[in-house]
Amino acid sequence: MDCCSKDVIEARFDDEYVQKKLSRYRKKGPKKTTSVLAQVIAEQMGEGMTLLDIGGGLGDLQHILLPMGVANAINCEASDAFVNACDQEARSHGYADLITHVQADFVEVADEISEADIVTLDRVICCYPDMPELVSSSLQKARRLYGIVIPSEKWWVKLATSMYYNLRFILQRNPFRVFVHSTEAIENLIHAAGFQRLFYKEASGWQIFVFSRQAIG
């Protein structure tokens, strides 16, 4: 079974796992890297901009950016449990009607997804083996801003990925894998698509990037 298939994602991020994440989110709020990514995007947002959040999980970015002025969002997420949790949280805050949920592997349905002013992949590229296809197809949907959070390539991040995460998955006979893709290769694809780097920060083993199709400000 392909490690990026929808069935594998569903099994990895099942209801039990997601409910634990939702409980933590409600107590502590979004991850710090997500908050940084959202803040940078918010500073660059124009009125009525739209969002495509790929692998949106609980919808952390949507829950931050919709109240800050994003007109509407598409949440493309392969895990049914995550889709339900995102919708549940949005309904509790009164903006569920601003989110369109697409439960699917983004690459498989990319041709059916509309463009958006902002495209985000928050800790998503590291869950996908075919990085070039995911990055290239998602870039085609971004009109203005492109934000990503990816693992650092530091030795200890790679070691933790191999020995803590992937070895555990192998022992559990779980086909899901985590990937530390080449940062240079990712940036090369983004620059080739006509984007310039607006923001970069490294924090706790993660790299936060925001790119723009043209310089803003």
Please check whether residue 120 lies inside any domain of the structure.
yes
For residues 88 and 96, what is the distance between their CA atoms, to the nearest angstrom? 8
- Count of structural domains within the chain: 1
Quote the domain boundaries for residue 170: 6-212
What is the CATH classification number for the domain harbouring 141?
Answer: 3.40.50.150
- Structure-block tokens of residue 4: 């990026």
pLDDT at 168: 87
Contact (CB, 8 A) for 54 and 124? yes
Beta-strand (E) ranges in 159-213? 196-203, 206-212
pLDDT at 215: 54
Please check whether residue 196 lies inside any domain of the structure.
yes
Please check whether residue 217 lies inside any domain of the structure.
no
pLDDT at 172: 85
Please check whether residue 206 lies inside any domain of the structure.
yes
pLDDT at 14: 87
Cα–Cα–Cα angle for 189, 187, 145, nearest 5°?
Answer: 85
Give the list of residues 6+ apart from residue 164 with CB closer than 8 angstroms, or none: none
- Structure-block tokens of residue 143: 């009109």
Please check whether residue 1 lies inside any domain of the structure.
no
Q: pLDDT in tens for each of the 217 residues of the chain?
A: 344 566 778 778 889 999 999 999 999 999 999 999 999 999 999 989 999 999 999 999 999 999 999 999 999 999 999 999 999 999 999 999 999 999 999 999 999 999 999 999 999 999 999 999 999 999 999 999 999 999 999 999 999 999 888 898 899 888 899 999 999 999 999 999 999 999 999 999 999 999 999 754 4
Give the list of residues 6+ apart from residue 148 with CB closer than 8 angstroms, or none: 120, 121, 122, 124, 125, 186, 208, 209
